[in-house]
Structure 1
Amino acid sequence: MHFHFVRSIREIAIRGIAVCSVAGCSVLLIACAAKPPESQMLKVEQMAPNSWSATKEGKAGVDRDWVASFKDKQLSNLVDEAMARNTDMRAQAERVAQARQNAYLAGAAARPTLAAEINGDRSQRQFVGFPFGGSSIQNGSYADLRMNWEIDLWGRIRMGQTAAISDAQAAELDQKAAEAALAAEVCKAWFALGEAGEQLELAQEVVRIRKSSVESIADRFERNLGGEGGSASQLRLAQTDLATAESLVSQRMSDMALAKRRLELLCGRYPEGKLKGSNALTKMPKSPPSGVPSSLLQRRPDVVAAERRYAAAVSRVKEAKRAIFPIISLTGSYGTASDALEQIVNNNFSTWSIGGTLVQNILTGGRVKGEIELRNSKEREELAKLEGVVLKAFSEVENALVVENWLSKRVKDMQRAYDLSKEAAKAANDDFLDGTGDVLTLLSAQRSAVDIGASLLTLKRMQLDNRVDLHLALGGEFRFKGK
């Protein structure tokens, strides 16, 4: 009995689906699949200048795989690891998945719904009066398959789904922008580690030089050659410089440890400071192609994401305006009804129905009009945001190009100053050892060389950081193993 009951229920469902399909086939062509909205970038294209003001020559081409342009295999591996393990990236991926699911759910109202129901009841009725007094007990059993389908004749539901699709595209672009930002953070942390390594080597070299100077000055002091630079004050001054240099070594070691921990955290590791990295700054690669400003609007993920959000707002205005049209729905059902449970699988007791409804709102208390005005305001807000993102993008490129030029000049000038300062320090040391130079000149020359050397390393790291900023500003592409 159980087998025949289940089989018959399935037959009811199959027949019900067939009835519902007949009801809906006449309007099936009306329901079109939602597509992403058209690009709205024309709204801001006129904001793009013909060329960059910070550079006379706009090199053509696309900034591709900028992480690899630094030609550092370990850096590329760290970026790959960060993309796979960074917690923020994993959370961003889930937000993309949620946006895609929301886009699917937004179209659910335009798809038919089917519901199956089986129920039974037992009731008693009392009859009062002669000769019909008494009571009767009735049983009822029902099995039913119901279909409901709102026909999106005016495209209201489709516009809502179109907006949701655009939001999902924006979420995907947000993920792309977040990946680029994370790659930039990893690069900058790597450069900071390289600078810390070179600064540590410089500080250790300074300690060796200071120790040698203290020994020479102490030797003169012991021989009581005050007139030749061997006074107690000069010895104390040299010892002070030595202690300062030793303190600087500790600071540089701390900088290295912190840089390692920052890298480990970005890569999704526990920050224990055991990352093995290079103790030297990465070499500066050649400049990327800057292209023309208008191409930036199609390349930067944050700009395109803002355009997609504006496009979604435009679609939602259309959705609100189409809410004034009638709502048309089709309904259908197929099932059985009997006073005995075992009879609900009997086709002789079958029931079916096909119907349609049309609902036209007449008075809504201003809700429809208010919703249209609200969404018009949201559309204007998203357009203003898009214009702001575009201006910011242009500003970041111009600033990075300006800083690129000036940093290049400063590095060259500082390198020349450092070379001269090292020569001056060597000459002062030779003069001091020959007995023709004084201690103050020696110490001053050494301090100058140390300070300029440290500043040069910082400038080189800033130059690398700005190059990363330029790649991001240009919407540069990069590749990692996950893609």
Structure 2
Amino acid sequence: MFHHKNFFRLSVVSLSMLLAGCISLDPDYQRPAAPVPKTWPSQGANADAKAVLTDWQHVLADPRLNQVVQRAVVSNRDLQESIADIEAARALYGEERASLFPTVDAELTQTRARSSSGAISSSAEADGAVSSFELDLFGRNRSLARAAKETWLASEATAQNTRITLVSETTTAWITLAADNSNLALAQQTMASAADTLRITQLQLNEGTAAAGDVSSAMSTYQQARATVASDKTQVAQDINALNLLVGDTVPANLLPGTIESLSPQAIAIVPAGVSSDVLLRRPDVIEAEHNLKSENADIGAARANFFPTISLTGSAGVGSSSLSNLFSHGANVWSFAPSITLPLFTGGSNLAQLHYAEAEKKGLIAAYEKAIQTAFEDVANALARRSTLNEQMDAQVQAVAAAQRSYDLARRSYEVGTGDYLTVLTDQRTLWSSQLNLVALQQTDFENRITLWESLGGGLK
């Protein structure tokens, strides 16, 4: 037979759970309009541009670079810290959400006693208690739980942004190492050429066909190249150290790049960008800003709820029996219920100040969200602007290097046969070296621009 007291006792708990969150005082959330044009400067939206590469594995075509980035994603300490932050935020959300439900404790005790006549008696008692539980009549606890959830989701977006940034920085470090390998190779070639020219000039001085000043100039060029070789060796070693730090482990030598000229032109794919600027709403930093905004929106609901009464419940229920064997069969049912109501009559303006503070914070976060979108738009626009001029500049620099090489070869041959002067040789050699360095820098910029464009679009479309 079902006892009416048991029914009432269960109804108290059920009612408290049903009342939780029946009202929400959160403001209706409306996503702020993106304060940027729909299309990029000088580019229209392309409805056919749907085959956008999605992740770095598809963008980084060089297998060595791909493996290096994979190691970084696994071992980088900054990324591990971001993941730990996600776990901490998730735990805090769980803690806030737990406040929506009562805590029920159960305890079983048994007592034995001897009377003056020597008889032994025993009794057992089972108690169940609901700890102090606040009825969420005006949604305060649910607002706080929603705020905690949005903070957790923001931390996930932060980790995703850290991951994308890590991919970009690791790729850039790998490309920088390749460029500095090229600079070192050029310095070594220039030093070897200067040493050869110095030897020829000294022979000509001994034969009386060269001036002492030519030997001094040749020696100066050789020593400058020698110093540059030493400096470039240091830079290459530091590049490797920087790459190891990003990866979080020592990168094997077989995964390091050679010179930048040795890389395939498609070592890093070009991500198509003929899409609407709405894609920026998928960037992790923009998503993070929006979750922060939603969290503050929920905090406003909690601040509003502070103006209303809070009702806390404390309940207990149990049965007592003289025998453990029939504890629940024939025991006496006991229950108690104690409500506690708190009215926010005099708060010295504290609740109003908290509400105004939350509303002001929301205004600031709206501005931060809009700024995140504008910054994202600028990143993509700048990357596209550089992309549009790189090919022409690269072609011009290749032609400039070829012309400088021809001029230097002619000047050197003329000097060796005695029909030219050393000043022309020296000038043409320095021009060639400078042109080669500029070409290496452009090749580095080309690869870096590709990964920057991928990063600026939020790691590709999904």
TM range (shorter): 0.7 to 0.9
The aligned residue for residue 88 of structure 1 is: 78
What count of residue pairs does the alignment treat as equivalent? 437
The aligned residue for residue 7 of structure 1 is: none
Instruction: State yes or no: 1:465 paired with 2:453.
Output: no
1:174 to 141, 151, 158: 158
Q: Deviations over 1:138-181 (max 9, x none)?
A: xx997632114433232221111111111111110010000011
Q: Deviations over 1:404-449 (max 9, x none)?
A: 2233332222111111001111111222223221111112111111
Shift of residue 90 of structure 1?
0.8
Shift of residue 357 of structure 1?
4.3
SS at 1:333 equivalent: strand
The aligned residue for residue 244 of structure 2 is: 264
Shift of residue 195 of structure 1?
0.7
In 2: Cα distance, 1:433 partner to 1:38 partner: 85
Shift of residue 270 of structure 1?
5.6
Instruction: State yes or no: 1:186 paired with 2:173.
Output: no
- Identity, % of aligned positions: 24
In 2: Cα distance, 1:235 partner to 1:22 partner: 104
Q: Deviations over 1:55-83 (max 9, x none)?
A: 33445333422453241111111111111
The aligned residue for residue 56 of structure 1 is: 43
In 1: Cα distance, 2:243 partner to 2:448 partner: 15
In 1: Cα distance, 2:27 partner to 2:245 partner: 40
SS at 2:351 equivalent: helix
Shift of residue 41 of structure 1?
6.6
In 1: Cα distance, 2:248 partner to 2:6 partner: 51
Instruction: State yes or no: 1:224 paired with 2:208.
Output: yes
Q: Are the counterparts in 2 of residues 147 and 333 from structure 1 also a CA contact under 8 Å?
A: yes
Q: 1:255 to 1:275 in 2, by over 3 A?
A: farther
Residues 422-437 of structure 1 aligned to structure 2 (within 5 Å): 422-437=405-420
Shift of residue 394 of structure 1?
1.2
Letter in 1 for 2:249: R
Q: 1:231 to 1:276 in 2, by over 3 A?
A: farther
Q: Are the counterparts in 2 of residues 24 and 330 from structure 1 also a CA contact under 8 Å?
A: no
In 1: Cα distance, 2:457 partner to 2:377 partner: 9
SS at 2:306 equivalent: helix
Shift of residue 38 of structure 1?
11
The aligned residue for residue 288 of structure 2 is: 305
The aligned residue for residue 9 of structure 1 is: none
The aligned residue for residue 251 of structure 1 is: 231
Unmatched runs of 5 consecutive residues or more in structure 2: 112-122
In 1: Cα distance, 2:110 partner to 2:344 partner: 37
Q: 1:373 to 1:343 in 2, by over 3 A?
A: farther
- Report which stretch shifted further, 292-301 or 231-240: 292-301
Q: 1:94 to 1:455 in 2, by over 3 A?
A: same
The aligned residue for residue 210 of structure 1 is: 194
Shift of residue 49 of structure 1?
0.5
In 1: Cα distance, 2:397 partner to 2:103 partner: 73
Shift of residue 469 of structure 1?
1.9
The aligned residue for residue 32 of structure 2 is: 43
Shift of residue 337 of structure 1?
7.1
Q: Are the counterparts in 1 of residues 150 and 291 from structure 2 also a CA contact under 8 Å?
A: yes
Shift of residue 223 of structure 1?
0.8
In 1: Cα distance, 2:378 partner to 2:152 partner: 27
In 2: Cα distance, 1:169 partner to 1:144 partner: 40
Residues 297-446 of structure 1 aligned to structure 2 (within 5 Å): 297-335=280-318, 348=331, 351-446=334-429
Q: 1:23 to 1:420 in 2, by over 3 A?
A: same
Shift of residue 239 of structure 1?
1.5
Q: Deviations over 1:217-250 (max 9, x none)?
A: 122111112xxxx111101111111111122111
In 2: Cα distance, 1:52 partner to 1:334 partner: 67
SS at 1:147 equivalent: strand
Letter in 2 for 1:424: S
Unmatched runs of 5 consecutive residues or more in structure 1: 1-15, 122-139
Q: 1:274 to 1:33 in 2, by over 3 A?
A: farther
SS at 2:258 equivalent: coil
The aligned residue for residue 257 of structure 2 is: 278
SS at 2:281 equivalent: helix
TM score, norm. by length of structure 1: 0.81
The aligned residue for residue 98 of structure 2 is: 108
- Report which stretch shifted further, 393-402 or 182-191: 393-402
Q: Are the counterparts in 2 of residues 301 and 475 from structure 1 also a CA contact under 8 Å?
A: yes
Q: Are the counterparts in 2 of residues 70 and 284 from structure 1 also a CA contact under 8 Å?
A: no
Q: 1:158 to 1:89 in 2, by over 3 A?
A: same
Shift of residue 363 of structure 1?
2.5
Q: Deviations over 1:1-48 (max 9, x none)?
A: xxxxxxxxxxxxxxx99875332224544446999x999573132x12
Shift of residue 336 of structure 1?
5.7
Q: Are the counterparts in 1 of residues 280 and 377 from structure 2 also a CA contact under 8 Å?
A: no
Residues 67-86 of structure 1 aligned to structure 2 (within 5 Å): 68-86=58-76
Q: 1:292 to 1:274 in 2, by over 3 A?
A: closer
The aligned residue for residue 118 of structure 2 is: none
Q: Are the counterparts in 2 of residues 159 and 316 from structure 1 also a CA contact under 8 Å?
A: yes
